[in-house]
Amino acid sequence: MRPERAARALVAGLAVGVATACAPDDETSHSRFLAFGTLVEVDVYGTDEKTAARAAADIEACFHVLHDAWHPWAEGELGRINRAIAAGEPAPIGEDLAGLLAEASRLSRDSGGLFDPTLGRLVALWGFADDEQSPVAPPAGARIRALLDAGTGPDRLRVDGRTISSTSRAIAVDLGGFAKGVAVDRAIERLRRLGVTNAIVNAGGDLRVIGRHGDRPWRIGIRHPRRPGIMAELEVDDGESVFTSGDYERHFVYRGRRYHHILDPRTGEPAANAVSVTVLGDDAARADAAATALFVAGAGAWRAVAGGLGVEHVMLVAPDGRIEMSTPMAGRLRLTRPPAGGEPRIELEAAT
């Protein structure tokens, strides 16, 4: 990562860090590092300094290895696979990545294809694969259509033992919609193995917790999609995770219109019917994939997709500032600053 980008990521991460309501205190060991292009914070409560520092160092090393292996275009394992697919050749795939791809394929199927881990070529066409530079204009419609016509989706991939091949040269594997979730799950797993019983792993506002913060649950904030600070607070119980997909993350403005990094696989364009989606769930990988898929589904349509993915706690902010929430989420979350201003316009599901 270039220094200026690292600095930007740190500033962005700190802004999100404000969203974590639990400030470090004497009994909390706080570590932070940059990984997956964002600031990762590991807070461990009530464990000795040495164990907490070892756990954080362990997690940092692990995140860097995973980032290199799972980056769609770098020199690592997935980058090599994507170059082989583009050349129409098979490539070796390790057990870990093959397992991850199988999990991504299941989530894709459960989401009716809205979570699509094979959009790498479209993401690159839009300019969002470049870690160094932001795009300045949308690509030509004909180029989007050409990639869509060639077809996307995990069904085009074949994993045979330790070899992967694709029936289409026009796709590339991009696990960006759930890799952070998988990494956070693994971090929590590591903390548990080290005997840590109270901790939070927060990767740029996406997080999972274990245990509690002393005599109360971990309390977190959900970032306001349009202003600095938070829009809602939430208490998170042992093992739970909270993931948000937003149009404010990677985006550019062209002729007054916002274009962002979450693409609708049906159109090849940024999904237009949400501003942010927050999912609370038991595992971070599913919550991460679900936040992306429900963002693509958009206002109104997310409810059916949430059912397919088995997620019950959802909040969606619509482009007009309206908030749609599942009833279980409304029972957990406290709005502090609704995006529409004034009285929040909250729509729960119709009573059945």
Residues binding ligand AMP (CB under 6 A): 114-117, 119, 123, 128, 174, 176-177, 245, 249-250, 261-263, 265, 288, 291-292, 296
d(CA 243, CA 219): 14
Nearest distance, CB of residue 195 and ligand AMP, angstroms: 31
d(CA 165, CA 120): 15
Nearest distance, CB of residue 288 and Mg ion, angstroms: 4
- Nearer residue to Mg ion within complex by CB, 56 or 293: 293
- Nearer residue to ligand AMP within complex by CB, 56 or 294: 294
Q: Which does 298 bind (CB under 5 to 8 A by kind): Mg ion, ligand AMP, none?
A: none
Neighbours of 61 (CB within 10 A): 12
Where do contacts with Mg ion occur on this chain (CB under 5 A)? Answer: 177, 288, 291-292
- Nearer residue to ligand AMP within complex by CB, 176 or 211: 176
Q: Which does 176 bind (CB under 5 to 8 A by kind): Mg ion, ligand AMP, none?
A: ligand AMP
Q: Which residues contact 196 (CB under 8 A, 6 or more apart)?
A: 44, 47, 51, 52, 55, 210
Nearest distance, CB of residue 67 and ligand AMP, angstroms: 13
CA atoms within 13 A on the CB side of 230: 20
- Nearer residue to Mg ion within complex by CB, 47 or 241: 241
d(CA 98, CA 26): 42
Q: Which does 29 bind (CB under 5 to 8 A by kind): ligand AMP, Mg ion, none?
A: none
- Nearer residue to ligand AMP within complex by CB, 213 or 250: 250
Percentage helix, strand, coil, to 5, in the chain? 35, 25, 40
- Nearer residue to Mg ion within complex by CB, 291 or 323: 291
The Cα angle at residue 8 between residues 3 and 12, in degrees rounded to 5: 145
d(CA 342, CA 103): 42
Angle between helices 95-110 and 302-309 (to 10 degrees): 140
Q: Which does 117 bind (CB under 5 to 8 A by kind): ligand AMP, Mg ion, none?
A: ligand AMP
In the bound state, the residue with its beta carbon closest to Mg ion is 292
